Amino acid sequence: MAMSGMRGLSVFISDIRNCQNKEQERLRVDKELGNIRNRFKNEKVGYIVTSCMLNENHDFLRLIINCVRNDIIGRNETFQCLALTMVGNIGGREFAESLAPDVQKLLISSSCRPLVRKKAALCLLRLYRKNPDVVNVDGWSDRMTQLLDERDLGVLTAVMSLLVALVSKNYDAYWGCLPKCVRILERLSRNQDIPQDYMYYGIPSPWLQVKTMRALQYFPTIEDPNIRRSLFEVLQRILMGTDIVKNVNKNNASHAVLFEALALVMHLDAEKEMMSQCVALLGKFIAVREPNIRYLGLENMTRMLMVIDVQDIIKKHQAQIITSLKDPDISIRRRALDLLYGMCDVTNAKDIVEELLQYLSTADFAMCEELALKAAILAEKFAPDLSWYVDVILQLIDKAGDFVSDDIWYRVVQFVTNNDDLQPYAAVKAREYLDKPALHETMVKVSAYILGEYSHLLARRPGCSPKEIFSVLHEKLPTVSISTIAILLSTYAKILMHTQPPDPELQDHIWAIFNKYESCIDAEIQQRAVEYFTLSKKGVALMDILAEMPKFPERQSALIKKAEDTEIDTAEQSAIKLRAQQQQHTSNALVVTDQRPANRSLPVKVPSINNNAEANTADRGLTEVNGTLSRVDPQSATPSADLLSDLLGPLAIEGPPSAAAPDDQNLISGLEGVSNSSDALALAPLEEQSNSVQPIGNIAERFRALCLKDSGVLYEDPYIQIGVKAEWQAHHGRLVLFLGNKNTSPLVSVQALILPPSHLKMELSLVPETIPPRAQVQCPLEVVNLRPSRDVAVLDFSYKFGTIMVNVKLRLPAVLNKFLQPISVAAEEFFPQWRSLSGPPLKLQEVVRGVKPLSLPEMANLFNSFQLMVTPGLDPNPNNLVASTTFYSESTRAMLCLIRVETDPSDRTQLRMTVASGDPLLTFELKEFIKEQLVSIPTPSPMPALAPPQVQPTIPATGATDPGAILAGLL
């Protein structure tokens, strides 16, 4: 009998294989479906074969949709199950389109047996997950809530999987399910009404418990105190009541539940008491011998780091974690590495990185690359001082050169180039490594590059004369590859240039080498040799061209990007990832810029193979929301390629083009062709660079947005981000400017000057002259409003980055409407006031034309957004708006303002506006202010109205329509 089943299956497979074309295949499948109907058992085989062998895109699945549908809506329970299972395993879009409503019906049908309904639940899950747009789940929250009342645990298990998928997409619609889930958990944990068959080693269905707790993790909080209490009781019981027992299976099952409970507690976060229990438990787990528990302890501790701030407690276990880093089991070592990476901050970076370096010498191949990358990232992120960073990277290259990707050494070169103080130190270190007997080629590259640039800084030290440096480098040349030879040639050229007065012997030697490589088979080497030879013959002219490389533009660490790139997404968004995103959003609501302490600046970056998906997206969320730190200039779009061209570009030359005298033009023409394409940056003259700093985002738009809200970004460019957060109280205001340096090198000569209009008294606290790398400085600014005015305060801000001088003038959002407070005025108050303020100058009326056409509700919104509170129904005419507000200033104190706008429904571009208040100046200014808002048309082009160079050209342009101006132009 069993054999016949097997035969049916294999016959079917071989028949399908032998089919010549689609038609035959179809016939064969139809025949099989016919067989299926004839023989119960073979139907099962047919369906299983279809499930196992085909994928959802297979053409002939389309052909059997109808048969399947008939089975699903038919009466035969067995066929229903088979069809549902098949669709549940491989159903694609067409199945979703034609079957989803039927499956939904089956799931909630009261006449179906649990057997069918649990399959329907998972079948629906498949269809929904594959094509969420096709399956209509509107209104399903009530049905899901009902389904969770189910007593049958099989159906419940299936429904819970469906619920997890639904809440992971949109938890908001399923709040009703939350209490039900808690009740299910209670039922399970108290062992109420659980059939014996669902008890697994005395534990009521651990799988359902786990699934239910997983579903709960998608809800951000539990508001209802009663439900919350019930849930915490259950969790408490799980946390306290799970003991280690002898039976392995029971132990595993109870710990599966325990770990899920831990995850849920971490997520719900609040009760600190339970959190410390969790940390204590995890601390215990990472010290046990049982490998599974230790593995999970390490894994969950890493997860805990992402969710809440427990770094200090976890640090206590550092020694224990380091022990696990040396475990014979690679799975455990990986977890330990991830955890160490996650828990690293400025305080323990030195210890951890040194531990990693030490481990690197004994680590096995499978882990070396990850280890090297992580050590490099940590060293970069948390370096207490940059010389330590250089030490670490050089050690890394020394110990595991094979696993150090080019990105790692490019990065250290960038740091050295951008930090003048670091250059002599790096040069000394590079020189020291060159004395080692066996040197990794990457080390030759770094040393050659650094010594080429900075060896002249060491000139007086023993063993560091140009000649000695040249000869120690030249020793390596016979053993290295082409790409390294290219770097060595550049280094020779630079050494030659730095040898003043020229040393004829050295010069001859180097020229001989250039001569030799002029006939090299590699075009790049050949070109370098020819060019360097010709250039070096030029003598002094060489000086300008081979000067030090300019500073690199700041860019996102290619390493971190690389770590992110290894990520692959998973089908479902995990609860942790979701949680991390939610946290980012809340933090953004409070503060405009990234204010996390440096050690948490990239809180969830754990670029191991497995945690990547979460970490990366969460991190991207962070950069998008806060727009700091790693968001960088457009050049970083292709960092590694770009980086490469900078470092390995044909010529490391710099300086104004004028340096090349006319007669040099011919000589260099060949090289210019190359340089222009690949190395524009290195060639750009300095003057141009100072203009090249482009603000990120539209300054005018940022200002407009800040007029309406109290926190946000005022200005951003590749180097700095200026955020503003403001509080307003009557006629006082307190703004805080957040100056964030986005680079790894300091911003210097920082100056902020406030140019206040006469009506504002403004006091800016001291702005430091230097902003350290990646730091953020807060500068409070006190504002007092003296009298009504529409004038705007300007912040004159400048800083220097390397040789680039940036100066911007920014309008500050301390505008008239910030001193308004909406007030609602009842009819019986309004009219007497309105009448008592009779005529100019206290009450002014004006017909405004050229108004942005707005519907009345839109206009009311606009008014409300400026704190002018619209009172509907006060004016009997429905086309009119009446608004009221209180204005605060030192001269007027609190003063009521009343506004009436009469619109013309037939012509929305004009209206009549009447403004009244107890102060003539206020009335006038407020009227003008509102007018500006009504007629202001957002300019499509970026409008840095305050940047003088751009303003000037617009004057003749606008004057073109003015006869007087034309005349002036002619004269």
Partner 1 sequence: MGIRFILLVNKQGQTRLAQYYEYLTLEQRRALEGEIVRKCLARTEQQCSFVEHRNYKVVYRRYASLFFLVGVDNDENELAILEFIHLLVETMDRHFGNVCELDIMFHLEKAHFMLEEMVMNGCIVETSKQNILTPIQLMDKAS
Which residues in 287-326 contact partner 1 (CB under 8 A)? Answer: 291-292, 294-296
Q: Which is nearer to partner 1, 118 or 551 (CB)?
A: 118
Q: Which is nearer to partner 1, 165 or 393 (CB)?
A: 165
Chain CA centroid to CA 964, Å: 54
Residue 358 binds to partner 1 (criterion: CB under 8 A): no
The terminus-to-terminus CA distance of the chain in angstroms comes to: 109
Residue 440: name the closest of 483, 394, 489 by CA.
394
Q: Which of 36, 96, 100, 125 binds partner 1 (CB under 8 A)?
A: 125
Residue 246 binds to partner 1 (criterion: CB under 8 A): no
Q: Which is nearer to partner 1, 14 or 55 (CB)?
A: 55
DSSP calls for 730-751: TTEEEEEEEEEE-SSS-BEEEE
Q: Which is nearer to partner 1, 207 or 433 (CB)?
A: 207
Asked if residues 401 and 442 have their Cβ atoms less than 8 Å apart, the reply is yes
Tokens found for residue 74: 């038919």
Q: Where are the alpha helices (DSSP H) in 171-222?
A: 177-189, 206-216
Residue 579 binds to partner 1 (criterion: CB under 8 A): no
Which letter, b or e, does each residue of 84-117 get, where b requires 16 or more Cβ atoms within 10 Å of its Cβ?
A: bbbbbbbbbeebbeebbebbbebbeeeebeebbb
Cα 185 from Cα 156, distance rounded (Å): 12
Identify how many contiguous H helices and E strands the chain contains and give both numbers. 42, 16
Residue 107 binds to partner 1 (criterion: CB under 8 A): no
Cα 883 from Cα 440, distance rounded (Å): 76
Residue 640 binds to partner 1 (criterion: CB under 8 A): no
Shortest separation between residue 610's beta carbon and partner 1, angstroms: 4
For 783: left if phi > 0, alpha if psi spans -120 to 50, otherwise beta; the answer is beta
Residue 348 binds to partner 1 (criterion: CB under 8 A): no
Residue 565 binds to partner 1 (criterion: CB under 8 A): no
DSSP calls for 541-556: HHHHHTSPPPPPPP--
Angle between helices 406-418 and 365-382 (to 10 degrees): 20
Q: Which of 161, 395, 418, 867 binds partner 1 (CB under 8 A)?
A: 161
Asked if residues 345 and 356 have their Cβ atoms less than 8 Å apart, the reply is no
Q: Which stretch binds partner 1 (CB under 8 A): 85-93, 340-348, 707-715, 812-820?
A: 85-93
Residue 257: name the closest of 304, 299, 296 by CA.
296
Residue 16 binds to partner 1 (criterion: CB under 8 A): no
Q: Which is nearer to partner 1, 167 or 397 (CB)?
A: 167
Q: Which is nearer to partner 1, 123 or 860 (CB)?
A: 123
Q: Which is nearer to partner 1, 55 or 192 (CB)?
A: 55
Shortest separation between residue 19's beta carbon and partner 1, angstroms: 17
Residue 611 binds to partner 1 (criterion: CB under 8 A): yes
Shortest separation between residue 208's beta carbon and partner 1, angstroms: 8
Q: Which is nearer to partner 1, 114 or 179 (CB)?
A: 114
Which residues ranging from 182 to 241 are in contact with partner 1 (CB under 8 A)? 195, 197-198, 200, 205-208, 210-211, 214
Cα 175 from Cα 178, distance rounded (Å): 5
Asked if residues 753 and 739 have their Cβ atoms less than 8 Å apart, the reply is no
Cα 634 from Cα 626, distance rounded (Å): 17
Shortest separation between residue 250's beta carbon and partner 1, angstroms: 9
Shortest separation between residue 209's beta carbon and partner 1, angstroms: 9
Tokens found for residue 191: 């062992």
Residue 119 binds to partner 1 (criterion: CB under 8 A): yes
* Residues that constitute the known binding site: 7-8
* Alpha-carbon separation of residue 545 from 490, 535, 673, 730, 787 (angstroms): 12, 9, 15, 61, 59
Number of Cα atoms under 13 Å in the Cβ half of residue 507: 14
Q: Which is nearer to partner 1, 291 or 918 (CB)?
A: 291
Task: Please give the radius of gyration of the chain, using alpha carbons only, rounded to the nearest integer.
Answer: 36
For residue 138, give every residue at least 6 positions away whose Cβ sits within 8 Å of its Cβ, in sequence order, or none.
none
Residue 365 binds to partner 1 (criterion: CB under 8 A): no
Shortest separation between residue 563's beta carbon and partner 1, angstroms: 14
Residue 957 binds to partner 1 (criterion: CB under 8 A): no
Number of Cα atoms under 13 Å in the Cβ half of residue 263: 29
Question: Would the CA dihedral through 283, 287, 293, 295 be positive or negative?
Answer: positive
Q: Which of 16, 73, 108, 115 binds partner 1 (CB under 8 A)?
A: 115
Q: Which of 64, 99, 122, 376 binds partner 1 (CB under 8 A)?
A: 122
Shortest separation between residue 119's beta carbon and partner 1, angstroms: 7
Residue 361 binds to partner 1 (criterion: CB under 8 A): no
Cα 499 from Cα 464, distance rounded (Å): 12
Shortest separation between residue 329's beta carbon and partner 1, angstroms: 4
Q: Which is nearer to partner 1, 301 or 487 (CB)?
A: 301
Question: Would the CA dihedral through 619, 623, 628, 634 be positive or negative?
Answer: positive
Which residues ranging from 133 to 152 are in contact with partner 1 (CB under 8 A)? none
In the block, tokens 């800040």 appear at: 706
Shortest separation between residue 369's beta carbon and partner 1, angstroms: 15
Shortest separation between residue 412's beta carbon and partner 1, angstroms: 30
Compose the 27-46 pattern: x for residues touching partner 1 by CB under 8 A, - for all others. -------------xx--xx-
Q: Which is nearer to partner 1, 300 or 447 (CB)?
A: 300
Which residues ranging from 807 to 826 are in contact with partner 1 (CB under 8 A)? none
Cα 489 from Cα 477, distance rounded (Å): 10
Shortest separation between residue 306's beta carbon and partner 1, angstroms: 12
Q: Which is nearer to partner 1, 48 or 730 (CB)?
A: 48
Tokens found for residue 542: 């060489």
Q: Which of 18, 109, 221, 249 binds partner 1 (CB under 8 A)?
A: 249
DSSP-based three-state secondary structure for 870 = strand
Tell me the number of residues near partner 1 by CB under 8 A.
74
Cα 851 from Cα 179, distance rounded (Å): 53
Q: Which is nearer to partner 1, 96 or 795 (CB)?
A: 96
Compose the 524-553 pattern: x for residues touching partner 1 by CB under 8 A, - for all others. ------------------------------
Shortest separation between residue 2's beta carbon and partner 1, angstroms: 5
Which residues ranging from 48 to 67 are in contact with partner 1 (CB under 8 A)? 48, 51-52, 55-56
Q: Which is nearer to partner 1, 294 or 431 (CB)?
A: 294
Tokens found for residue 510: 């180097």
Q: Which stretch binds partner 1 (CB under 8 A): 156-164, 689-697, 740-748, 911-919?
A: 156-164
Q: Which of 78, 131, 692, 891 binds partner 1 (CB under 8 A)?
A: 78
Residue 877 DSSP symbol? S
Shortest separation between residue 233's beta carbon and partner 1, angstroms: 22
Q: Where are the alpha helices (DSSP H) in 794-919?
A: 827-836, 856-865
Q: Which of 157, 423, 588, 817 binds partner 1 (CB under 8 A)?
A: 157
Residue 607 binds to partner 1 (criterion: CB under 8 A): no
DSSP-based three-state secondary structure for 638 = coil
In the block, tokens 């400085």 appear at: 777
Residue 562 binds to partner 1 (criterion: CB under 8 A): no
Q: Which is nearer to partner 1, 161 or 741 (CB)?
A: 161
Residue 570 binds to partner 1 (criterion: CB under 8 A): yes
Residue 447 binds to partner 1 (criterion: CB under 8 A): no
Asked if residues 943 and 899 have their Cβ atoms less than 8 Å apart, the reply is no
Question: Would the CA dihedral through 248, 251, 254, 255 be positive or negative?
Answer: negative
Q: Which of 135, 184, 332, 386 binds partner 1 (CB under 8 A)?
A: 332
